[in-house]
Chains A and B, each alone.
Chain A
Amino acid sequence: MFKYLIILFLFLFSATISAENSLVQSSESVAIDSSIALAEDEINFDQAAELAKQQRLKTQVEFCAPCHGKNGLSSLPIYPNLAGQHQQYLLKQLLAYKYRRRKDAVMSPMVSRLNEDELVELAHYYASLSSDISQVEINGEFNESSEASENTNEN
């Protein structure tokens, strides 16, 4: 019994010493590197946030694509083209559907789960696409950089 206590004591003692050591060490290294580490973290955070935003937008655009076309040009007569439409107008309509000022049984549920930031991104994305019908076949893919294609209709 006594033997066990000694062992336990020794164990606890050594544990506290090593814990203290590592504490001192780590706080020193933090003090030295903190400025650099922080800057790096910020960059990574920004990039990660930007990537997440792009990914989120891409997922949503894929969700709208069956009706409004991969490139904002719809292939069915009852679904409007969105490509090259004015950004402000698109945002106004998206918000109107969300808050049921413009009522449509199809569109309102599509946007009611999206927040306003996401609607701003979607409006920006579709406004940036070319409304040129001949483009449908050529770039039927998600436009990674929404700035890439020129907007023929914006003013």
Chain B
Amino acid sequence: MKKLALALAATVVMTAPAMAADVEAGKAKSVMCAACHGANGVSAIPMYPNLAGQKEAYIAKQLKDFKSGTRKDPVMGSMAMPLTDADVANLAAYYASLK
């Protein structure tokens, strides 16, 4: 039973990064976000949300919504504008991976 659980956990751990985007690339890109969202995704300013540990799919959706203007925020709109789909996926994976 324990072995089975271990095997299961191992597959989950191994498949997760395979499906996920490039966390390292996300980390590199996040330098431009750090001023507001904190170096490790924990922001020091109450009006700027923490991103550390947030759901990957949720972060990606928000960035796309900021970019398309579906979610309106003057600051984040201009931050999200230059991001490519790959950037969005990588950033989402990076922030979701943080605690």
Contacts and interface: CB of A to CB of B under 8 A. Distances in A.
Nearest to A127: B46
Nearest to B44: A155
Contacts of A155: 44, 46
A47 interface: no
A80 B70 contact: no
Interface stretch (B1-9, B23-31, B53-61, B83-91): B53-61
Contacts of B43: 86
A9 interface: no
B47 A89 contact: yes
Interface string A59-78: 00000000000000010111
Nearest to A134: B99
Contact of B58 (A79, A84, A92): A79
A87 B99 contact: no
Contacts of A92: 47
Chain A interface size range: 20 to 34
Contacts of B52: 131, 153
B47 A131 contact: no
B39 interface: no
A89 B55 contact: no
Nearest to A132: B99
Given A102-B71, A133-B99, A84 B50 contact: yes
A78 B58 contact: yes
A102 B71 CA distance: 6
B49 interface: yes
A155 B44 CA distance: 5
Interface in A105-154: 131-133, 153
Given A85-B49, A86-B43, A87-B46, 19 more contacts: A74-B55, A77-B55, A77-B56, A77-B57, A78-B55, A78-B57, A78-B58, A79-B58, A81-B54, A86-B45, A86-B50, A89-B46, A89-B48, A101-B72, A103-B71, A131-B50, A131-B52, A132-B99, A155-B46
Interface of A: 74, 76-81, 84-89, 92, 101-103, 131-133, 153, 155
